Amino acid sequence: MALQILNPDGSPQDSWSASFQLQGTPSAGQLDIFSPLGSQLALLHWSPDGAWLRQGSEETASDSLPALIERSLGTAVPIEAFFAWLQGHPLQAQGWHADLGQYTQGRISARRTDPLPQAQLKIILQPAP
């Protein structure tokens, strides 16, 4: 996964790459985010009872899964649409446009234009080990 947050002129403001493992559903699941060298950067898990984020030794609980996603990724990403895109379904999310034209080649891209700052998400799918 590569995520890029853009300045108003379209130039990169912030960007990073990581691998991830996603399990569950939009209502109850877990997202592990790993550095390119394989160390765990963040663990996010959620259920109908709430959401929890662990980054290093810091743990945060919240009723708001979107807030913890934004905290862990640096920008808001719509979890229901994220699950759908990973399955090849073009679910619409406010402000986001997903391009699944290369899904059969294992590539997904999505772009958020509203709200600012704009963001671009690129995913290369790999089977779980």
Residue 73 DSSP label: H
pLDDT of 34 over the 90 cut: yes
**Cα(first)–Cα(last) distance of the chain, in Å?**
17
pLDDT of 90 over the 80 cut: yes
What tokens does 90 get?
Answer: 């073009």
pLDDT digits (tens, 9 = 90+) for 78-87: 999 999 999 9
Residue 128 pLDDT = 66
pLDDT digits (tens, 9 = 90+) for 46-63: 999 999 999 999 999 999
Residue 64 DSSP label: -
Q: Which residues pair with 44 in a beta bridge?
A: 31, 53
Residue 12 pLDDT = 86
pTM of the model: 0.91
Domains detected in the chain: 2-124 (2.50.20.10)
